[in-house]
Amino acid sequence: MSGVLRLYSETTKSIRITVDTTFLEEQSSPVESHYVWAYEVKIENLGKVKVQLINRTWSITDSYGQTQIVKGSGVVGEQPILEPGASFKYTSGTPLKTPSGVMVGFYEMADDKGAAFDVKVPAFSLDSPHQPRQLN
């Protein structure tokens, strides 16, 4: 992977989600408006009960304000079970037609008694070196 590494973290109900993002220059083609990022997610169970990740929901917004909602079962084909103190890490990716964007989402989790609850995934920025810099 190439590019600048970014780190985002948020804790909901004793589940800490940490996200690293990396722009993938070698898989991107700015001339064709194709930009690709990898994101690595670490899910940590800081609580005292076993939990399982059941579903995911992502909101991916490009720099034109176009938003795509992605929902699905588990992550990368798995519905990991995390014992207290355990963690699960996976890497995935997303393409955009613009040189920057933002992702945010949540995981539907279930505790050891089957009670479902949502865990927020922090909003994370998808920035490429092809995005003009703007000072706000």
**pLDDT tens digits for range 32-81:** 999 999 999 999 999 999 999 999 999 999 999 999 999 999 999 999 99
d(CA 18, CA 91): 12
Residue 7: band (very low, low, confident or very high) from pLDDT cuts 50, 70, 90? confident
Residue type, 89: K
Residue 54 lies in a domain: yes
Residue 79 lies in a domain: yes
Residue 133 lies in a domain: no
Q: Is 1 helix (H, G, I), strand (E, B) or coil?
A: coil
- pLDDT surpassing 50 at residue 1: no
Q: What domain range is 100 assigned to? A: 6-127
pTM for this one? Answer: 0.89
Residues 6+ positions from 32 with CB-CB distance below 8 Å: none
Task: For CA atoms 48, 82, 90, 74, give the dihedral sign.
Answer: negative
Residue 135 lies in a domain: no
The two most distant CA atoms of the chain are separated, in Å, by: 52
Q: What is the count of structural domains for the chain?
A: 1
Residue written as token pair 């927020």: 120
Q: Are 5 and 91 in contact (CB under 8 A)?
A: no
Residue 1 lies in a domain: no
CATH of the domain at 51: 2.60.40.1470
Structure tokens that stand for 55 in this block: 């579903």
Residue 96 lies in a domain: yes
